[in-house]
Amino acid sequence: MQYTLAELKRGERAIITDVSSIHIPLKLLEMGCLPGNLVELVQLAPFKDPMYLNINGTHLAIRKETAVHILIEKQG
Amino acid sequence: MSKQINVALIGNPNTGKTSVFNALTGLNQQVGNYPGITVEKKEGVCKLSRGIKAHIIDLPGTYSLNASSLDENVVIELLLNKNDKDFPDIAVVVSDVENLKRNLLLFTQIKDLEIPTLLVINMADRMRYKGISLDIDYLEAELQTKIALISTRKKEGIDNLKNLIANYKELSVTPCINPSDIDKEYFDNLQKAFPNQLLYKLWLVITQDVNFGKTDRKEIEAVANFKTKSKADLKRLQQKETIKRYQFINNALKHGQTIDASQAKDLRSKLDRILTHRIWGYFIFFVILLTIFQAIYDWSSVPMDFIDSAFASLSEWTKIQLPQGAFTDLLAEGIIPGLGGIVIFIPQIAFLFLFISVLEESGYMSRVVFLMDRIMRRFGLSGKSVVPLISGTACAIPAIMATRNIESWKERLITILVTPFTTCSARLPVYLIIISLIIPEGRFLGLGYQALTLMLLYFIGFGIAVLSAYILNKVLKIRSKTFFVVEMPNYKLPMFKNVAITVLEKTKSFVFGAGKIILAISIILWFLASYGPGDNFNNAESIINTEYASQQLSEDEINQHIASYKLEHSYIGIAGHAIEPAIRPLGYDWKIGIAIVSSFAAREVFVGTLATIYSVGSDDEATIKNRMAAEVNPILGGPLFNFASGISLLLFYAFAMQCMSTLAIVKRETNSWKWPTLQLFIMSGFAYVVALIAYQLLK
């Protein structure tokens, strides 16, 4: 089932299936936020925003408003 | 025979690039600015084998050649301009063994510019803990480069690195990917249009907004106009390019790197569970701030008292040792107290930079950004605004420059505008001396009253900064794309050498930068205080002698009266009296008025000015504080610096915009006079009103 990255829960893992490149800064793509890569939600700040992620071994934080433009497929 | 080569150090942030720079150059380094912009330029010299000298430039950290900030622009501008005198003979790309895959992206981009590129894999000491092993020979073959596996922390591999740099001519310049693989038709057309240019370089010029050296400007502009595709299409190509690069990297790492996850010790997630916790995270952050302020207050008071009295003695000693005359007076009453006003800063500035660089080096600052983003956004700021607001406690100038990594222009502008409200170290001497005059000693719950007052002033500074951000966010009508990406680096024990060099460099540049202004103003003030127009000043001695002729006064007392009469009728005294009506409602006399006026150039001048004004004509060896405590309010009687006027002064200095250097930086960073002008008038006007209300309520 298709979700956006914003719907990932703490500790869950997923595979990135699509990114809407117009809404996503190039910098994020270059840091590994690309289709096919594994993403894990490490920590959430209060109000579930920003999100602390581990994408393909790179640890970074992004805001929820960016995360909704990234589609994922949740893993087991 | 000696030969000099240019070496450019390039790398992602948090890879230990600066440690490599420090390991290569030691203290043989200097920090300047790139011409015309305020990006810090660090360069140094390192002796290699066979008499080769390496001129090393530590370029700003960047994730990619696709620049998204002024700092990153510097990197691409240098690498694309063959005519730059610093154009590298060799690019040394520094990577971190734990983030090799991502770090290699930048490596492939630089290699595609066909510059000899050497790969440094740093933090080799961490491999054991993370279960990482590397097949260096295989990686060298796949990436077509030489690799230096080093550990700056353990000081391993540095000599090998130097040798590899010296042999830069053996490095291959074969590119990693061929742009034609991304979109054959588009790139073939581009190459046809500019047959003599490197395709990847053309592509970089098209996709970004970069200034280039004069020489090939015309040609470059023609390239930049080669737009046969829409912006969205170009971005899609960039995404495709990034995917191609990762394919190349994954291919190399598949056999070149093995990670045994069962060996990995995960300190990061344990620490993050506490430090980014939704309750404990904030609690710990608050405790850290509290500790810093208490420490700065306690630790620096001893050296500061020492410096204060040492300069008072030096001034006295000069007067005794040198023959009497105008020059001796200038030295003893103008220059030495002025210098003292600079030197007295050193302990606090050093401590502040120490704490800030430890927080940055350890990786903790990124956690603070993560924790604070949502809260700060409510006020129109970004989590990244926390870093400028905290470094603003050292100095607003580097703090405003630290806003550059805030991606949204509106959030960045608001951060720039409110940062000068945070209590910078230049306010500290003013605060410290006034607090010591008006707040009693004594302790509450183990914290001194004086330290608590100081902390309160810091909170007032932050509070007003955040509040004005809230207002600005409502008032400013700027639409800008907001996005927010922040790397959460691994926790690291800060390296002593890096911290020490940062503290040394920052303190030095601050003291010399501010020092010039303070010294110049001290000298001018001394002249204005020592000379005056008309008969009143020139005949001071006879006037006083006649006036007090009937009273039996000792010679000392007569001299005191002459000195203060002279000061009152000197140029500065006349100027002070002229502005007195405006500042009397705030509880200040004309001497404080002079100090306030002169400190519009730089706040720290306040104490130095009072020191100069009070030492003109006085002989005794007293510290500035003693002299201030002895001042009497000429109208109301009682000490001039009492609770009401003291609080009023503290509040005035908390809010007023009194720093020409900050205004200059704001002008540069916002590229407009509008913002610094607004800052000057709104902040200072607000300061006046608040100080007025405070004094009228308290007196």
Confidence at residue B636, expressed as pLDDT on a 0 to 100 scale: 72
Kind of pairing between the strands at B3-11 and B52-58: parallel
Other C-beta atoms closer than 10 Å to the C-beta of B634 total: 11
B73 labelled as ligand-binding? no
Confidence at residue A64, expressed as pLDDT on a 0 to 100 scale: 92
Residue A21: give the domain boundaries.
Answer: 2-74
How close is the nearest chain A Cα to the Cα of B278, in Å? 6
pLDDT category at B29 given cuts 50, 70, 90 is confident
Beta carbons of B373 and A63 less than 8 Å apart: yes
Residue B105: closest CA among A23, A35, A33:
A33
Can you tell me the distance from the alpha carbon of B687 to that of B667, in angstroms, rounded to the nearest whole number? Answer: 22
How many residues does this entry show for chain B? 699
> Cβ contacts (< 8 Å) between A34 and chain B: which residues?
239, 242-243, 246
DSSP A2-61: EEEGGGPPTT-EEEEEEE-TTTS-HHHHHTT--TT-EEEEEEE-GGG-SEEEEETTEEEE
| Residue B509: pLDDT over 80 | no
The tens digit of pLDDT for each residue in B45-89 reads 999 987 899 999 999 999 999 887 778 888 988 998 888 889 999
The tens digit of pLDDT for each residue in B585-632 reads 998 988 888 888 777 767 877 877 777 677 655 545 566 677 778 777
Q: Are residues B250 and B315 in the same domain?
A: no
- Predicted TM-score (pTM) of the model is 0.81
Q: Are residues B549 and B687 in the same domain?
A: yes
Q: Are residues B227 and B289 in the same domain?
A: no
Q: How far is CA B136 from CA B119, B256, B591, in A?
A: 11, 7, 71
* Residue B274 identity: I
Whether B25 and B44 have beta carbons less than 8 Å apart is answered as: yes
Q: Are residues B161 and B77 in the same domain?
A: yes
Confidence at residue B531, expressed as pLDDT on a 0 to 100 scale: 87
Can you tell me the distance from the alpha carbon of B55 to that of B46, in angstroms, rounded to the nearest whole number? Answer: 7
pLDDT category at B215 given cuts 50, 70, 90 is very low
Cβ neighbours of residue A25 under 8 Å, at least 6 residues apart? A66, B68, B407, B483, B485
B487 interfaces chain A, CB cutoff of 8 Å? yes
Other C-beta atoms closer than 10 Å to the C-beta of B588 total: 26
Q: Where are the beta strands (DSSP E) in B16-64?
A: 29-33, 40-47, 52-58
Q: Are residues B259 and B285 in the same domain?
A: no
| Residue B552: pLDDT over 80 | no
In a domain, B484, yes or no: no
In a domain, B481, yes or no: no
> Of B441, B475, B509, which residue constitutes the final position of a domain?
B475
Confidence at residue B527, expressed as pLDDT on a 0 to 100 scale: 85
B369 interfaces chain A, CB cutoff of 8 Å? yes
In a domain, B642, yes or no: yes
How close is the nearest chain A Cα to the Cα of B155, in Å? 26
Assigned token pair, B232: 């969205």
Q: Are residues B50 and B17 in the same domain?
A: yes
B266 labelled as ligand-binding? no
Indicate the average pLDDT of chain B: 85
pLDDT category at B213 given cuts 50, 70, 90 is very low
Compute the average pLDDT of residues B178-196.
88
User: Cβ-count burial of B697 within 10 angstroms (0-12 exposed, 13-18 middle, 19+ buried)?
Assistant: exposed
Confidence at residue B305, expressed as pLDDT on a 0 to 100 scale: 82
B17 labelled as ligand-binding? yes
The tens digit of pLDDT for each residue in A46-72 reads 888 899 999 988 999 999 999 999 999
In a domain, B272, yes or no: no
> Of B475, B510, B542, which residue constitutes the final position of a domain?
B475
Return the percentage of chain B with pLDDT > 70, whole number: 91
Vertex A69: Cα angle to A68 and A70 (nearest 5): 90
Residue B304: give the domain boundaries.
Answer: 280-475
Q: Are residues B435 and B292 in the same domain?
A: yes
When mean pLDDT is compared over B146-150, B319-323, B441-445, the highest value belongs to B146-150
Compute the average pLDDT of residues B510-523.
73
Closest-CA residue of A relative to B491 is A59
Compute the average pLDDT of residues B628-637.
75
B542 interfaces chain A, CB cutoff of 8 Å? no
Compute the average pLDDT of residues B251-276.
86
Beta carbons of B485 and A61 less than 8 Å apart: yes
Other C-beta atoms closer than 10 Å to the C-beta of B672 total: 12
B26 labelled as ligand-binding? yes
| Residue B368: pLDDT over 90 | yes
pLDDT category at B2 given cuts 50, 70, 90 is low
Number of structural domains (chain B) is 3
Asked whether the ipTM of the predicted complex exceeds the cut of 0.90, the reply is: yes
In a domain, B269, yes or no: no
Can you tell me the distance from the alpha carbon of B467 to that of B470, in angstroms, rounded to the nearest whole number? Answer: 5
Confidence at residue B572, expressed as pLDDT on a 0 to 100 scale: 84
Beta carbons of A61 and B486 less than 8 Å apart: yes
Query: For the domain that residue A55 is a member of, what is the CATH number?
Result: 2.30.30.90
Confidence at residue B339, expressed as pLDDT on a 0 to 100 scale: 78
Beta carbons of B487 and A42 less than 8 Å apart: no
Number of structural domains (chain A) is 1
Beta carbons of A59 and B268 less than 8 Å apart: yes
Confidence at residue B662, expressed as pLDDT on a 0 to 100 scale: 83
